[in-house]
Structure 1
Amino acid sequence: MEDLTNVERAVELLQKLGLKEYEAKCFVALTQLPSGTAKHISEISEVPRTRVYDAVRVLETQGLVEIQHANPQRFRAVSIDEAAQTLRSEYESRTESLRETLQGVEAATVDDEVDVSHEVWALSGSAAIATRTTQLVDEAESEVVLIVGHESALTDDLVERLESAQDRGVSVVVGTVSESLHEDVRAVLPGAEAFVSELEWLRSTAADDATEITRLLLVDRTTILVSTTHSGGATGEQSEQAVFGRGFENGLVTIVRRLMSTGLFPVDDPYADPAADGGSSDAS
Structure 2
Amino acid sequence: MSNPDAGGRSPRSRDEVFDALADSVRREILRIVHGRSPSGVSTTDLAFELAAVTADSPLASVTDDDHQRALVDCQHRHLPALVDAGLVAETGDGTVVTTDHWVFDDSEFDATFAGRTDDETDLDALFGALADSRRRTILIVLGNQYHPLSTETLARDVAAREAETAERDVSQERAEQVLTSLVHVHLPHLNDAGLVTYDLETGSVSYKGHPSLRTDWLDSDPERPQSATGSAPVESTDGDSSDEVRTVRGRESIVTTGQSLCESAEEELFMMFTTTGLLEEGCFRRIEDAIDRGVDVYVGSRDPRVREIIRDRAPEVVLWEPQLDWLNLPPNGESVGRLVFADRKAVLLGTLGTPAADGEYDETALVGEGPDNGFVVLMRQLLGSRLDHLDTLSETGQSEIPL
TM-score (normalised: structure 2): 0.39
Structure 2 partner of 1:230: 353
Map of 1:269 onto structure 2? 390
Deviation per residue, 1:24-66 (Å, 9 max, x gap): xxxxxxxxxxxxxxxxxxxxxxxxxxxxxxxxxxxxxxxxxxx
Q: Which has the higher strand share?
A: 1
Is the Cα–Cα contact under 8 Å of residues 213 and 229 in structure 1 kept in the other structure? yes
Equivalent in 224, 231, 240 of residue 115 of structure 1 = 240
1:159 aligns to what? 284
- Report the residue type matching 2:383 in the other structure: M
* Aligned-pair identity (%): 26
Whether the 8 Å contact between 1:222 and 1:247 is mirrored in structure 2 is yes
Give the unaligned 5+ runs of structure 1: 1-16, 21-83, 273-284
CA contact (8 A) 2:194 2:210 kept: no
Per-residue deviation, 1:215: 0.7
Asked if the contact 1:211–1:230 (Cα under 8 Å) also holds between the matched residues in 2, the reply is yes
Matched, 1:194 2:315: no
CA spacing shift, 1:212–1:19, aligned 2, 3 Å: farther
Which is greater in Rg?
2
Q: Does 1:128 align with 2:249?
A: no
SS of 1:169 mapped into structure 2: coil
Q: 1:102 Cα deviation (Å)?
A: 3.6
Aligned length: 186
Q: Distance in 1 between matches of 2:301 and 2:173?
A: 38
Q: Which residue of 2 aligns with 1:259?
A: 382
Residues of 2 paired with 1:130 and 1:196: CA distance? 22
Aligned to 1:55: none
Distance in 2 (CA, whole Å) between partners of 1:130 and 1:238 is 13
Distance 2:176 2:374 in 1: 43
Match of 1:216 among 335, 339, 343: 339
Cα deviation, residue 255, structure 1: 1.1
Q: CA RMSD in A?
A: 3.7
Contact 1:143/1:170 (8 A) holds in 2: yes
* 1:180 has 2:305 as partner: yes
Deviation at 1:259, TM superposition (A): 1.3
Deviation at 1:194, TM superposition (A): 0.6
Alpha carbons of 1:105 and 1:196: their partners in 2 closer, same or farther (altered >3 Å)?
Answer: same
Quickly say closer, same or farther: Cα 1:120–1:191, change in 2 above 3 A. same
TM-score, length-scaled by structure 1: 0.54
Contact 1:122 1:242 in 2 (8 A): yes
Structure 2 residues without counterparts, runs of 5 or longer: 1-9, 14-170, 196-208, 212-237, 394-403
| One-letter code aligned to 1:269 | L
Cα distance change of structure 1 residues 141 and 180 upon mapping to structure 2, 3 Å threshold: same
Give me the whole-angstrom Cα distance separating, in 2, the residues matched to 1:246 and 1:85: 30
Residues 1:271 and 1:256: Cα distance change in structure 2 (over 3 Å): farther
